[in-house]
Amino acid sequence: MLTAKIEERKVGDKTIYVVDGGKLLVALDDGLTVEIADEMAKMWKSGGSQVPPVVVFRETGFKSDEDKANAMTTLKSAGFETVRTI
């Protein structure tokens, strides 16, 4: 049974699922762009945690391969250590 709190945060028409106070960030929509990664980075930096969250995207969720590469680069540059696609 999942007992962690899950919040939904909207970025335009996309949703970021914030799990367990931000320990896990998940974006599963279609048409994702680097904007979603920018917002995740802002959320982490404003949350006060020293440990970066784990991030999960859907493999086919990005608008283009370029958007996926830019999002991954943005998150790595911001200090995220674990970014996965499923």
CATH number at residue 30: 3.30.750
pLDDT at 1 over 60: no
pLDDT per position as a tens digit, 5-37: 999 999 999 999 999 999 999 999 999 999 999
Q: Which domain holds residue 64?
A: 6-85
Per-residue model confidence (pLDDT) at position 3: 86
State the DSSP string of 11-69.
Answer: ETTEEEEEEGGGTEEEE--SSB-HHHHHHHHHHHHHH--SSPPEEEE-TT-BSSHHHHH
- Counted domains in the chain: 1
Please report whether residue 58 resides in a domain.
Answer: yes
Instruction: Note whether residue 1 is domain-resident.
Output: no
Q: Is residue 19 part of a domain?
A: yes
51-76 residue pLDDT tens: 899 999 999 999 999 999 999 999 99
pLDDT at 2 over 80: no
pLDDT band at 43 (very low <50, low <70, confident <90, very high): very high
